[in-house]
Structure 1
């Protein structure tokens, strides 16, 4: 095949912007699914599943109150207004809690925008805007402050620390919403954040970002797990937000940041298509994080489309192939996958295989259908099977099971429900329906 004239679907990159397929319930089979569809997917069932997953985010996961209890905030994050934040659910104790709420909320916004383009229901878009307000409330908006533009993105057990990756992974949701609504305010928040990040956290000569920013001392530094391997930071190319910022503003500094980071990833790639050297992978233990190849492999497609250089496409293909090897017979993936693609008996990561489906989607649309269509369909089937539809605990209805926990000797339900499983299910299914891949 040739590399020219191939366009994957991505919601916010100007150079690859494509209209989502408009669906109605009275159109014929050929316009619903791809003409060679011979799978067991039912159109109505998958549309209902998408709707049900959105409803779990909107009706269950989104925080509706400005304040939350200490039990809901185990890491003691300091946000003045929690309205619109995304929460996770503990099925064993039937309780809600927050973890990494800024980037989880940003990815939820992205999911809801993608689903809105398929389902065309206003309440889904309204929910995305509600979530957006939580992120805006966590943004330094005073132009006189030295940290103007920073988004306070806390994740781990250090309540005064904002994590760089969490901040950057929140931005694509704002970009998606900005492009759908033509609201320049959301774009401006993104641009301000990118400018602050480039100035405060990016190591230009290294192509790396410092991991953390202490909000109280106004100092940036990297985590011990990163420094352990002799590198001062991480190559955070997540969602290609700096490239998208460049395409919006033509600010060449953003483009330089993106390609310096991409080059560092090409230099550090190991194993093929992945990056075990950098957290959250565990180089000492020999385990690869299930979403690492997605975060850093998928933006390589955008680099290829922007630059025309096939070296980036080849890297994305290697990441896609890493996921093919890691995918289990049931369609899922495990969190503790090692270099030989062996895994423990427990510890599936549904969000990991659904993020892989998003990467496979882009490559299918770029002309590699035969290589990735069946892995993508297996991933969607797996996610669909993991959806709770009829439950005694109504808090579960519509959510996606992230993993089954090891037996602990109790009668508690062995379910880990992460908001990310549902978030990436919505993203993957929206792409698959919109591109007629099921």
Structure 2
């Protein structure tokens, strides 16, 4: 019996030790998502646990929230607990030690919301127009078709700068902030476009990474990174412990992991989707400014708030870098403004934020991507969505977060939810609604 008990204890210890890193990431995901959902998204703990965190194995964590301190904690079977804090202006972040909770930090300066100018150039009510060429009943049916089983939370359709369809699931409305996940990559790319237009950066230049200057990586350009075509090693896998999960849930500075990876492919010929690359690009952006405060402010002052995306919050890591791979929140209406900026080739209410050449750039297929990827945007150049125009392009996030831009049709479509949906059928229905 003693031998049996000893063997059992040893087996349990081995099991715990082997799975401890997984439990660390599991609890980390739950704590971070809980803090963001409640303090940015404005949701309750019950709602978050029964929807956003209700999938295996994250649903095994036990979540608690301290509303006064704005801290969320998640326990994995009582074996370990991870904590995430909310920082005004910077969103939620996982802590690595107790001192992180009391550390000082800079916050971005924001512009006041314009409630005088009508949507989309302001946030006052839009001047509604009834378009005779739109079959509103078919449009309504198409939009409604991806709610319910498809778990959509928000859908918005813009046509000629006007909202022609807008629907929300129970518990959500036009004021609800929604997480874009990897659509944040497209937001980050746009910051480069703004800087390029201001002649403050040249994306053809070599990436300004000091640690690369004495090896073959010194030839990697900013352009290569924007196209995710650097040839750097990276494992983007969310089903197990990988580069991506370690970066998001274990790192203080999320820009470092990709920087430290070796070259395993051929630069400009080896496309590899990498959230690490997007965060490295965030570091490169930070290097363009004389101070950390200037870096934090620029994203908003010269782009996000400039187009009235005042609800947007781009979350930062513990080192103060915007997490460009994954963590931008905004209302569906503000995400629609993002698409509209591209539909208007960088012009916003008479001001040029970036040029039409930038739109051409981000929609040019990356070598090796089979025509599916541009510069932090996804493409339909090979008509993967067979009933949708080839020149449609979109920002893409986990679980089907989308901002579609359809230039020829003067249409922007926004969709948020918790599960995938039939994109081709959905977009086809919208296009057929507009004669």
TM-score normalised to the size of structure 2?
Answer: 0.25
More strand as a share of residues? 2
Which structure is larger by alpha-carbon Rg, 1 or 2? 2
More helix as a share of residues? 1
TM-score normalised to the size of structure 1?
Answer: 0.25
